[in-house]
Amino acid sequence: MFPKRFAIIALLTCFFFAIFVFQFQRDQGILPSTTRFLCPSAPQSTSKPNATVDLSEVPFPKKIWQSWKSPVSMLEGGDLDNVRSWKKLNPEYRYELLTDAAAETYVLDTFLATRPDIVEVFLSLHSVILRSDFLRYLLLLGDGGVYSDIDTKNLKPVRDWIPSWYAEDTNIVVGIEVDEPDGQKWSGWRYNYQFCQWTIMSKPGHPIIETVVDRVIKSLWDMADKQNTTLNRVKTFSEDVIATTGPGAFTDAVFEILTEQAGKNITAHDITRLKSPKLLGDVLILPVNAFAPGQSHSKAGKPEDDGSLVQHMWKSSWWGDNPQGNFEDHKKKKEEEEEQKKKEEEQKSQKDENNSGQGNANQKRQEDGLRRQEEER
């Protein structure tokens, strides 16, 4: 009995020592970007923990996930009001806000045995936004439920998000953020048509979530290799974040699975300007006003509209660590540039008119002079 207990204690001691060594080397920048420390002899796993599960037989977990640097007890102001909105409208759901430490514990407990590549990448990231983006996918991969950013306000109960006639066939719910497939692309967008990832509802292990997780891992390693550095020292600009872990990466994964399920290429033009939810395969796509009301583009509608489910407050705290400013700043800058361009065109037009008038006056003087010369003769 005692030898067995000692053996277990010894194994646990070795495990935590290995984690300590990894964390130390990571923080010191010792690990090269090609290191696979936690499982050096194993290939990069692409196995899915829920690959054999028929999701149609699995109910949506009644869980609401959020993440932030401090626990609920330390929130105040708008953040606290937002959290209360989720709790008040969904009393039957388990609400959980993960701090940074709790997030690491969750990832270790959930994926160390089945996806050590996930654990390695997550623990290596120092960028707040890269971690935050990655974490939401991991929560939905491992447990499922609803993930929503801390700067979102719940407007309608989650139980009302899926129309009853789609309920049996829906395994994931995604909302549109940008719906301007034929319009001009704004700064801050990767695509003119884009799915938001500040709010996602999914059953555990949905193929879209699996796909975006694998995409994120590959993209982050590629970025580290390109910069010839380690994951913990990767430098990102806002466009890198959007493409690697943000809505650009999520949009790519959604279209990949939509196309795979449909057996034909699905593009933005198949689902643009939706007036009501649309089911493609097992993916329920919500119109732009569902998760993104109040935006000044895409005919997003208002938060008080009947179809609005979530309001994003655009706190965008992560932009401060990633150059390029935030989305609304881009919009304001673009409007200012257009106004300046308009003024310059008006000034040029006025100058042309003045030059034309001056030219006509000179021509008239020349004609008058010639006329006087003829008269003198």
Domain ranges of the chain: 58-330
Task: Point out which residues pair with 148 in neighbouring strands.
Answer: 199
Residues 277-305 as b/e (b if ≥16 CB within 10 A, e otherwise) read beebbbbbbbbbbbbbbbbebbebbebee
Q: Residue 191's pLDDT is what?
A: 66
Cα distance between residue 79 and residue 86, in whole Å: 11
Q: Residue 139's pLDDT is what?
A: 98
Cα distance between residue 163 and residue 202, in whole Å: 15
Query: Tell me, what DSSP letter sits at residue 61?
Result: P
Task: Give me the DSSP letters along 76-137.
Answer: -HHHHHHHHHHHHH-TTSEEEEE-HHHHHHHHHHHHTTT-HHHHHHHHH---HHHHHHHHHH
Question: In the numeric block, which tokens belong to residue 70?
Answer: 């401090």
Q: 314 with 205: CB under 8 angstroms?
A: no
In angstroms, the first-to-last Cα distance of the chain is 135
Q: Residue 297's pLDDT is what?
A: 73
Long-range contacts of 70-76 (CB under 8 A, 24+ apart): 70/99, 71/97, 71/99, 72/97
CATH of domain 58-330: 3.90.550
The length of the chain is 377
Cα distance between residue 216 and residue 207, in whole Å: 14
Digitized pLDDT (tens) for each residue of the chain, 377 residues in all: 445 555 555 555 655 555 554 454 444 443 433 333 333 223 233 334 455 578 989 999 999 999 999 899 888 888 999 999 999 999 999 999 999 999 999 999 999 999 999 999 999 999 999 999 999 999 999 999 999 999 999 999 999 999 999 999 999 999 999 888 666 655 565 667 899 999 999 999 999 999 999 999 999 999 999 999 999 998 887 787 888 888 999 999 999 999 999 999 999 899 999 999 999 999 999 999 999 888 767 676 788 888 899 999 877 544 444 433 344 444 455 556 667 777 777 777 777 666 666 666 666 667 776 677 666 65
Task: Point out which residues pair with 178 in neighbouring strands.
Answer: 194
